[in-house]
Amino acid sequence: MTSSSSKCPACGTLVPANSRWCTNCGKDLLASSPHGPQVPLAAGGLKGQLMETIRARVQTDEILSVIWILFPIIASVAAVIGIAIGVMFWVLGWWIGGAIIAIVGVVVAVIVAAVLFAMLNYKLINRQNQHMKREEAFRGSLISYIKSRSQDSNLTQMLSSQIATMESIQYDARSRERETSAVIFAILIMIPVVGIIFLLYVLYVLSDFPFNHDRRWHAFTQQAQSAASHLEMTVILPSWKTLPERSFIIYLVLTLLTGGLFLIYWYYVLIKDLNEHFRAQWQFEDQIATQMK
């Protein structure tokens, strides 16, 4: 165990030192006493942990309005208006005044546009990170809860296949999904010239995540529903399709061919896709929560 990791007091799994929940069993590590007894949680305790990961979505799963993609556009339009006003004064003979107005208008508009654009990217990266951590905790809690219920009902052997598949999906997500620093990259993309490199990386990460993440979640819920049915838990899967795959290369080419206009649609789908994933996931979680009552 390194200084950057700690042991979960419930199941003994090594987790990052700053983790809120155990990535294996979903235990709330911030509420744990470092000197408390390290014993497995009872089914009632696991139920509480599972409910906590569901309630946490209020802070992690932010439904973003598509209006966000309009803010940089509005600022850019303001810059054009500033130039137009400056040209008008220039034509009227107010050369110095017109030039100053045009320059100030453009500088202010560019700064405002850059800040709003950075804020948009920050919010997209941050909500992806926060949701990723919460869903991982939810999956771990649900797996542990189903394990405990199956043992109590003597159904361990019958549910072994579903549980093994759920654990495999949990491991796959944990090994493939990585956090991206929202603050650092929101700042880096504002750097003149080289910022475009960091922006392309952010767009790649944001475009690649929803499809693969949603696909894993869809497979996980199918196994969870199957296991739950044997435990007399009625859980109906939402009637939604997995999110469409967004090709970074195709979207980049279309952005270049349209002089950047396609970027508006690109950000639109980045906002929309996770919004849809959140809403579908909440339906499943609400049914789990209902069964917990």
Taking CA atoms, 210 is separated from 164, 176, 228, in Å, by 24, 13, 26
Please tell me the distance from the alpha carbon of residue 97 to that of residue 88, in angstroms, as a whole number: 10
The whole-angstrom separation of Cα 133 and Cα 28 is 12
DSSP of 216-269, one letter per residue?
Answer: HHHHHHHHHHHHHHHTT--------PPPPPPPHHHHHHHHHHTTTTHHHHHHHH
Across the 293 residues of the chain, what is the mean pLDDT of every consecutive 10-residue run? 61 63 57 38 69 92 88 68 69 67 70 83 95 94 90 86 93 92 92 90 95 94 91 77 91 93 92 94 90 74
What's the pLDDT score for residue 237?
A: 75
Q: What is the pTM of this model?
A: 0.76
Q: pLDDT tens across 187-210, in order?
A: 999 888 898 999 999 999 999 999
| Residues 96-117: tens digit of each pLDDT | 666 676 677 667 777 777 788 8
pLDDT of residue 66: 87
C-alpha–C-alpha distance, residues 81 and 86, integer Å: 9
Residue 14 per-residue DSSP state: E
